[in-house]
Amino acid sequence: MPGLAASNNSPPTVAPPPRRLSSPLPRRAPPSPSPSASSRAKPRKPSPSPTAFPADADDSLDNPDLGPFLLKQARDAMVSGEGGGAARALEFAERAARALERRGEGAELELAMSLHVAAAIHCGLGRHADAIPVLERAVAVVTPPAPAAKGEGEGEGEGEDGADAAGGDDQQQQRAEPDQRGEEWSLAAFSGWMQLGDTHAMLGRMDESIACYGKGLEIQMAALGERDPRVAETCRYLAEAHVQALQFDEAEKLCRKALEIHREHSAPASLEEASDRRLMALILDAKGDYDGALEHLVLASMTMVANGRDIEVATIDIAIGNTYLALARFDEAVFSYQKALTVLKSARGDDHPTVASVYVRLADLYHRTGRLRESKSYCENALRVYAKPAPGAAPDEIAGGLMEIAAIYEALGDLDEALKLLQRALKLLEDSPGQWSTVAGIEAQMGVLYYMVGRYADSRNSFESAVAKLRASGERKSAFFGVLLNQMGLACVQLFKIDEAAQLFEEARAVLEQECGASHPDTLGVYSNLAAIYDAMGRVEDAIEILEHVLKVREEKLGTANPDVEDEKKRLAELLKEAGRSRNRKQKSLENLFVTNSQRAKKEAGRRWSNFGFRS
């Protein structure tokens, strides 16, 4: 990891399902830092803390030269793979850590290095959870402790606002102050936090991962300054993590910062700037700013053409086609896809997964324009490639293509074939580390299809597995999680698990109220389902209260003559009649009373469940 960051000039391309993004730090095998042992700065004071490994009774560990020797043996064993391979290297690294802990003052950097090596071996063996405490110990060894808070007597007499402002200034000063022990300490701390973030990401813990990356970025900026090009690489890396967590506003801020730094320090139309623009296009596309995304993609494509990067130009052409498709500029989208297809076939061969991905995009385009025969033909072409892909094809790339084809078959009404494709995609990814969110998305899509074909038990099981993965990965606050809880509740209703359905609807309501607001259509749908379940449970008063709120919002948003409003009126009238009450109404304006037939929403098909009026 040279200069506190590594570089990568291949940002991700746009794709509907969540995929792994390229980044300057590889997440499958988090790198270990390599501070020079010959130029270590002497620390001003030791960093006492609990040991990372059990105490060793061997008195030979007291030899001050043993720790560095064992650390070298561990690194040599990792490289050579001989003498027991990873297990032998792990033993050397753990013994080195114990020996260096005994040395105490002056051995902190080598101790951190040995812990990084041990953690990397754990990750290489697929034991990412075991690497977490080792890395936490490593960053504790080299990260300077936070300055002590002011004494109780200091600052008395200041107003509360003034104290808060002063506290904010202190925090900014603490972040900006570099580690006085030298750049090697900053490098070790930065490497440790980034490696810890990578390991959390492999376990699907995106919130913890992003927090670790943020601490690493703060340390790097304090050591190098906020405008250093290496800081830009880390900003882009952190932005990609935010994209994976669907936090697009934070991702946009970091990506803009990276773009500004690269434009300041790099030559005009540099490859680094092009990578930033491709990521920015992905972010803006996700936020619905298609014109802004198209502008960044065109500029990135011009840069790649100037540098003779034909493959990258073809990849950008696919993204440009996706943006044209979102803007309903279908002819231009077809031209971009065909242009990319010609280059990729020539450069990589007809059986490469990137060629299949273009087939999938063309199939989606022709399906949207009603040319179903061409759409299915391109789907079949893509499936032939995915059946026998070129050597070295990434499983997540194939799985993503299968998911997109499954969505097209679902739209065409071929649900059985769509389920088979999703099962193939799930088999490719279910044992892959770091793919929990993608697997959860596949299981959620399978749950919907199982529901549509009447296999409600399978539907509930798929939803339950997806919910569990999202809970474990920290994505329980997203709108997607709320919608997934609602769908699982509907499956429980069909299985007559009323109490479980009520709990799921209540949790979905809380999530969607927080993420979307009380007047969002998805939230109103959950309200309607919750009212129906309360009615089934005999909680008529609670159902009436919810339906009155839903009806009030729908009348304000849609008008009183809308079909959805009419349905809610009938349901509320039946409940009020049962309770012996009448609706407490307010005067409505005339402009909401007159709604023409052409304004009616055509959303009745597939939106009502059972006799209670459940909504998807």
**Average pLDDT value for the chain:** 76
Chain position carrying tokens 């064993």: 77
pLDDT of 321 strictly over 90: yes
Higher pLDDT, 110 or 134: 134
Task: Express each pLDDT in 146-168 by its tens digit.
Answer: 555 444 444 444 444 443 433 44
pLDDT of 507 strictly over 50: yes
Higher pLDDT, 145 or 539: 539
Task: Express each pLDDT in 205-227 by its tens digit.
Answer: 888 899 999 999 999 998 888 88
Q: CA 218 to CA 199: how far, in whole Å?
A: 19
Segment 387-413 shows an average pLDDT of 88
Segment 593-616 shows an average pLDDT of 39
Q: CA 529 to CA 229: how far, in whole Å?
A: 52
The predicted structure's pLDDT at residue 424: 92
The predicted structure's pLDDT at residue 55: 42
Higher pLDDT, 74 or 357: 357
The predicted structure's pLDDT at residue 48: 36
The predicted structure's pLDDT at residue 432: 75
Residues 6+ apart with CB under 8 A from 575: 535, 540, 543, 544, 547
The predicted structure's pLDDT at residue 150: 46
Q: DSSP label at 453?
A: T
Number of H-type helices and E-type strands within the chain? 25, 0
Segment 436-460 shows an average pLDDT of 91
Count of CB atoms situated within 10 Å of the CB of 538: 9
State how far Cα 105 lies from the chain centre: 40
Structure tokens given for 444: 């959620």
Q: Residues of the chain with pLDDT > 70: what percent? A: 71
**Please, which pLDDT band fits residue 372 given cuts at 50, 70 and 90?**
very high
Q: What is the number of alpha carbons within 13 Å of residue 305 lying toward its C-beta?
A: 9
Count of CB atoms situated within 10 Å of the CB of 51: 13
Q: How far is CA 366 from CA 325, 370, 375, 404, in A?
A: 10, 6, 5, 14
456-472 vs 436-452: helix axis angle to the nearest 10?
160
pLDDT of 613 strictly over 60: no
pLDDT of 326 strictly over 90: yes
The predicted structure's pLDDT at residue 564: 66
**Please, which pLDDT band fits residue 593 given cuts at 50, 70 and 90?**
very low
Least confident of 174-188, 259-273, 425-439: 174-188
Least confident of 84-93, 392-401, 547-556, 600-609: 600-609
Domains of the chain: 63-143+180-224 (1.25.40.10), 457-615 (1.25.40.10)
pLDDT of 320 strictly over 90: yes
For residues 298 and 280, the answer to whether their CB atoms sit within 8 Å is no
Q: How far is CA 88 from CA 73, 84, 311, 517, in A?
A: 9, 5, 42, 55
Q: CA 201 to CA 237: how far, in whole Å?
A: 12
**Please, which pLDDT band fits residue 616 given cuts at 50, 70 and 90?**
low
Q: How far is CA 322 from CA 318, 376, 398, 436, in A?
A: 6, 19, 18, 26
pLDDT of 317 strictly over 80: yes
192, amino acid identity: G
pLDDT of 179 strictly over 80: no
Task: Express each pLDDT in 87-111 by its tens digit.
Answer: 777 877 787 778 777 776 767 788 8
The predicted structure's pLDDT at residue 373: 92
The predicted structure's pLDDT at residue 443: 92
pLDDT of 122 strictly over 70: yes
The predicted structure's pLDDT at residue 581: 61
Distance between first and last Cα of the chain? 48
pLDDT of 186 strictly over 70: yes
- Counted residue by residue, the chain has a size of 616
Count of CB atoms situated within 10 Å of the CB of 519: 15
Count of CB atoms situated within 10 Å of the CB of 5: 25
pLDDT of 610 strictly over 90: no
Higher pLDDT, 417 or 3: 417
